[in-house]
Amino acid sequence: MAYNELYQYSVVSALMEGLGDFGLPYKDLVSHGDHGLGTFRRMDGEMIALDGQVYQMKADGSIIKVDTTGGSDIAPFAQLTRFQASATADVEFKDKQGFSDALSKLLPKTKNHFVAFRVDGLFKVVAVRTAGGQFCRHENIRELHKRQTTYEFTNVRGSIIGFRSPDFLQGVGVAGDHLHFISDERDRGGHVLEVTTLEGSPVKLSAAVQSKVHLEFPEDEDYKEVNLKVDADRIRIVEG
Amino acid sequence: MAYNELYQYSVVSALMEGLGDFGLPYKDLVSHGDHGLGTFRRMDGEMIALDGQVYQMKADGSIIKVDTTGGSDIAPFAQLTRFQASATADVEFKDKQGFSDALSKLLPKTKNHFVAFRVDGLFKVVAVRTAGGQFCRHENIRELHKRQTTYEFTNVRGSIIGFRSPDFLQGVGVAGDHLHFISDERDRGGHVLEVTTLEGSPVKLSAAVQSKVHLEFPEDEDYKEVNLKVDADRIRIVEG
């Protein structure tokens, strides 16, 4: 695939309805990019892909290198691209909103586009959650996230991988900025709830607009039958 | 492009806001398929693509064969696929709802997918409208459609080309079924408002699910700045 074309499997609103039993095998998924995020069968943990490697970040704090050559794991939802930064900047921010402001400054007028981004460096605080996996088939993601594990890492070196999605595509992607984190040692990570950089110690932000988006819709019975209502408030609470 | 992968340039909600000045050149567009619909610069008429040929159906009733080898015309919005029917049936229907019911019977459980379809045969009545083009830059499509021309063709042989889009993607596509018509003689056509077949004289319906969708977002300033709210009622009135 060409650089900076976003590939997405399924839609976030299907995940919200608890559709975690089917998905694209990771061995197929990686042909679509080296930079991305997503989840695993039954929402067991958070996925991050960077530098050609895919990691499963689990609720017990463990991190597994995913076998993408022939493993059996699947992604019920994933966004991947072959990332090449079109702009970079050294930035500091106090929180996720500060990060979004920095991204909007680096790539202005991107509210109607998907944007891929990456942040590398030393962070003062990164607060994450990791989904613990469904207890039963089709368990609603609201129930699932009552059992999520949260961690707070301080003075941690690592990388954030993420995507900005347009507001009018809430439910297809997560409207706004969606960030996953992994430490340089690949021993800590998850879905970013909050993030702060150290004063006087900027991190490196790289980003690129993805104006071509390849959406793949599941062909499974569960997907065909589910009622996909866009519940913006719920997506914001669970994935924002 | 492989068969039955939908390519879409821009989103319907951008068209609703009157963004008709920019678009993809038709000579590039046709590389993405031989079956589709869309519009032209400043919404001057309705586009239909079938059997590898693109036609511009204008409000004055004239139909122009579009030069796709090097012409200067552009599509502010278009949906195209390389169509190969996965199912066909001989059907009769009294109205657009009857058509939709026939399509849902032919390809059940397609509410969460895009579907490409085609209908060929002799129709009792086909009522169409053709957009007359914007009088001024960014003229809102609601104003534009106050000047639309409508025609009613009776006992006409021809083809309908169209797409079904999921409800949860209203604003990206036109939720539900979107139909354009052209006569066998290529002398009459437009956006289908109503359609009826003759009793005892079925037409041929062919269709195929499009589970891979390639969305291309414009990179023009107008697109970057527009506020894209999904106005489902308005889209239903104007494009339904």
Q: H or E segment at B155?
A: strand B149-165
pLDDT over 70 (residue B235) = no
Would you state the structure tokens that stand for residue A231, as one six-digit string? 């519940």
Using an 8 Å Cβ cutoff, are B190 and B130 in contact?
yes
Task: Tell me the β-bridge partners of A49.
Answer: A36, A54
Give which of B96, B93, B192 is closest to B152, Cα–Cα: B192
- Mean pLDDT of the region A177-188: 97
Instruction: Give residue ranges of A with CB < 8 Å to any B CB.
Output: 11, 13-14, 109-114, 166-169, 171-172, 209, 211-219, 221, 223-226, 228-230
Closest Cα in chain B, distance from residue A208 (Å): 13
- Mean pLDDT of the region A66-83: 94
CB-nearest partner of A168 from B13, B110, B167: B13
Question: pLDDT tens for residues A99-111?
Answer: 999 999 999 999 9
Name the residue of chain A whose CA is nearest to B223's CA: A112
pLDDT over 80 (residue A237) = no
Residues of B in contact with A14 (CB under 8 A): 112
Question: pLDDT tens for residues B13-38?
Answer: 998 888 998 999 999 999 999 999 99
DSSP for A110-177?
A: -TTSEEEEEEEEEEEEEEEEE-B--SSTT--HHHHGGG-EEEEEEEEEEEEEEEEE-GGGBTTB-BEE
- Mean pLDDT of the region B92-101: 98
Closest Cα in chain B, distance from residue A130 (Å): 28
Q: What is the pLDDT of residue A235?
A: 62
Name the residue of chain B whose CA is nearest to A9's CA: B212
CB contact under 8 A, B168 and A213: no
Using an 8 Å Cβ cutoff, are A18 and A225 in contact?
no
Q: What is the pLDDT of residue B234?
A: 64
Letter string b/e over residues B149-172, b meaning 16 or more CB atoms within 10 A of that residue's CB: eebebeebebbbbbbbbbebbbbb
CB contact under 8 A, B167 and A225: no
Q: What is the pLDDT of residue A160?
A: 98
Strands B176-183 and B149-165: antiparallel
SS3 for A203? strand
CB-nearest partner of B168 from A112, A211, A228: A228
Using an 8 Å Cβ cutoff, are B165 and B77 in contact?
no
Using an 8 Å Cβ cutoff, are A197 and A121 in contact?
yes
CB-nearest partner of B112 from A112, A226, A230: A226
Q: What's the CA gap between B104 and A15, in Å, rounded?
A: 25
Q: What is the pLDDT of residue A122?
A: 98
CB contact under 8 A, A214 and B213: yes
Q: What's the CA gap between B86 and B84, in Å, rounded?
A: 6
Q: What is the pLDDT of residue A224?
A: 96
Give which of A79, A83, A84 is closest to A29, Cα–Cα: A79
- Mean pLDDT of the region B208-224: 97
Alpha carbon A84 to its chain centroid, in Å, reads 17
CB contact under 8 A, B228 and A13: no
Name the residue of chain B whose CA is nearest to A218's CA: B211
Contacts of B174 (CB under 8 A, 6+ apart): B12, B163, B165, B235, B239, B240
Q: What is the pLDDT of residue B238?
A: 64
Closest Cα in chain B, distance from residue A16 (Å): 14
Give which of A9, A73, A5 is closest to A35, Cα–Cα: A5
Per the listing, tokens 């990570």 go with: A189
Task: Tell me the β-bridge partners of A122.
Answer: A157
pLDDT over 80 (residue A89) = yes
CB-nearest partner of A112 from B166, B212, B224: B224
pLDDT over 70 (residue A113) = yes
Interface test with A, best of B10, B163, B217 (most A CBs within 10 A): B217
Residues of B in contact with A235 (CB under 8 A): none
Q: H or E segment at A80?
A: strand A78-81
Would you state the structure tokens that stand for residue B164, as one six-digit string? 């079904």
Residue type, position A183, single letter: S
- What mean pLDDT value characterizes chain B? 93
- B234 against B31, higher pLDDT: B31
Instruction: Give residue ranges of B with CB < 8 Å to any A CB.
Output: 11, 13-14, 109-114, 166-169, 171-172, 209, 211-219, 221, 223-226, 228-230
Question: pLDDT tens for residues B101-155?
Answer: 999 999 999 999 999 999 999 999 999 999 888 888 888 777 787 778 899 999 9
Instruction: Name the H helices within chain B.
Output: 12-16, 26-29, 96-106, 141-144, 221-225, 232-239
CB contact under 8 A, B211 and A230: no
- Mean pLDDT of the region A159-174: 93
Residues of B in contact with A113 (CB under 8 A): 217, 224
Interface test with B, best of A81, A217, A223, A228 (most B CBs within 10 A): A217
- The residues spanned by each domain of chain B are 5-239
Q: What's the CA gap between A93 and B98, in Å, rounded?
A: 57
pLDDT over 90 (residue B230) = no
Span of A28-42, A46-60, B44-58, B132-146 with lowest mean pLDDT: B132-146
Is the CATH number of domain B5-239 3.30.1330.80? yes
CB contact under 8 A, B212 and A213: no
Interface test with A, best of B17, B169, B170, B212 (most A CBs within 10 A): B169
Closest Cα in chain A, distance from residue B167 (Å): 8
A186 half-sphere exposure, CB direction, 13 A CA radius: 13
Per the listing, tokens 């040692």 go with: A185
Letter string b/e over residues B104-129, b meaning 16 or more CB atoms within 10 A of that residue's CB: eebbeebbbbbbbbbbbbebbbbbbb
Using an 8 Å Cβ cutoff, are B18 and B180 in contact?
no
- Mean pLDDT of the region A165-182: 92
Interface test with A, best of B17, B24, B112 (most A CBs within 10 A): B112
Name the residue of chain B whose CA is nearest to A217's CA: B211
- Mean pLDDT of the region B61-89: 95
